Amino acid sequence: MANTLDKLIPFLIAAVQQIGHELVGIIPAVTMDMTADSAAKNQLIRVPITPKAVAEDIVIGTPPVVGGDDFEPIEMRIDNFRRASFLWNGEEEAALGSTVNGLKENQILQRMRTLVNEIEASVFAEAINGAAGGSFGVPGSTPFGNDDMREFAQLVKMMNDAGSPQTDRQMVLNTTHAAALRNKPNLFKANEAGETGLLRQGVLATLYGFDVRESGGATAMTIDGVDTLPSAVFTRDAILLATRAPYLPEGGDEATDVFPVTDPLSGLTFQVASYPGYLNRRVEIRVAWGVKTVNPQNSFILHG
């Protein structure tokens, strides 16, 4: 049988290029780990965490007694298996004529957008729920209302006090906080913000050592009994996102063709499969993922 996805490949590529312009901020900011390929659905994945080192006095003439590190693992699972499908039959395609290709491209785009947005919201929720480094700001208020940029200064202090890495610091703002930050005139000065423009590759600006990003995946939450609209502040090593394609049985399933397509911005790979039916054909776009805060001491909350 001929490759049934050949005619759809140009639409898949066009759709994934548009996905790169969606409001995806937190997925590119976390650690992407593809070593979870060996894990089945809901199977435990143990991620070893290197403990802090301990120094000791040097005693001349007395060799040290050195033991091994105790790598306490963090456990996570690939527990999200999601798909988005659409169906066409020959009568519908014939009735629409040449316009059917544009409609199929839009269908692919909308389904990829839906899956990316679900992953973005999933990672953002984990960043907030898994944060153990502390929080700053007043719930119910909007940050960046002062001229002194105190939010950045305080969060830098909190990270430094916690011993967080000095590199790969991320600040992923919800859209309300990002709008407030855009009102800061210094953000538009390339020599102060470190960028020549906003929304370049998902980064609003580089400020105080943070890659500042914007996410559409943030939602209002209740933390310690208080309602807040949070933003996430963390180092890249704090959060692990593992993604893969759902496994097919040996010999395959009923799909006549399976094709992977990768979003170059987020790094997410989708599996696209074509399933024949009686006088129709179903196209399914799917992905599996799990997310876990593995270094919670390096993850913080900016309230709003």
Separation between Cα atoms, residue 163 and residue 157, nearest integer Å = 10
Q: What is the pLDDT of residue 3?
A: 46
Q: What is the model's pLDDT at position 12?
A: 62
d(CA 175, CA 195): 19
Residue 34 confidence (pLDDT): 55
CA distance 302 to 173: 9
Domain co-membership, 210 together with 71: no
Determine, yes or no, domain membership for 28: no
Q: What is the predicted pLDDT for the residue at 191? A: 43
Q: Is residue 271 within a helix (H) or strand (E), and if so which, with residue range?
A: strand 269-277
Q: Is residue 257 part of a domain?
A: yes
Smallest CA-to-CA distance from 126 within 25, 228, 240, 46 is with: 240
Q: Is residue 109 part of a domain?
A: yes
Residue 265 lies in a domain: yes
Q: Verify that 65 and 85 share a domain, yes or no.
A: yes
Q: Are 138 and 116 within one domain?
A: no
Is 146 domain-assigned? Answer: yes
Note whether residue 274 is domain-resident. yes
- Split into its structural domains, the chain has a count of 2
Q: Are 193 and 161 found together in one domain?
A: yes
* CATH number (domain holding residue 149): 3.30.2320
Task: Identify whether residues 13 and 150 lie together within a single domain.
Answer: no
Are both 284 and 217 inside the same structural domain? no
pLDDT for 19: 55
Whether residue 179 is found in the same domain as residue 49? no
Q: Do the beta carbons of residue 115 and residue 19 sit within 8 Å?
A: no
- Can you list the residues of the chain whose pLDDT is less than 50? 1-3, 190-194, 196-201
Per-residue pLDDT reduced to its tens digit, 102-153: 787 778 878 888 898 999 999 999 999 999 999 999 998 899 988 788 999 9
> Do 107 and 191 belong to one domain?
no
Contact in structure between 298 and 133 (CB atoms under 8 Å): yes
- The range of the structural domain enclosing residue 201 comes to 132-239+296-302
CB-neighbour burial class of residue 281 (10 A; exposed 0-12, middle 13-18, buried 19+): middle
Do residue 140 and residue 265 come from a single domain? no
Beta-carbon contacts of residue 277 (< 8 Å; ≥ 6 apart): 87
29 within a domain of the structure (yes/no): no
Question: What's the rounded Cα separation, in Å, for the pair 203 and 122?
Answer: 20
Question: Could you tell me if residue 10 is left (phi over 0), alpha (psi between -120 and 50 degrees) or otherwise beta?
Answer: alpha
Residues 82 and 214 in one domain: no
Query: Do 203 and 258 belong together in one domain?
Result: no
The answer to the question of residue 27 being in a domain is no
Residue 63 and residue 149 in one domain: no
Other Cβ atoms less than 10 A from the Cβ of 195: the count is 20
Q: Which runs of E-coded beta strand occur in 1-151?
A: 31-33, 44-49, 72-77, 80-89, 135-136
DSSP 191: H
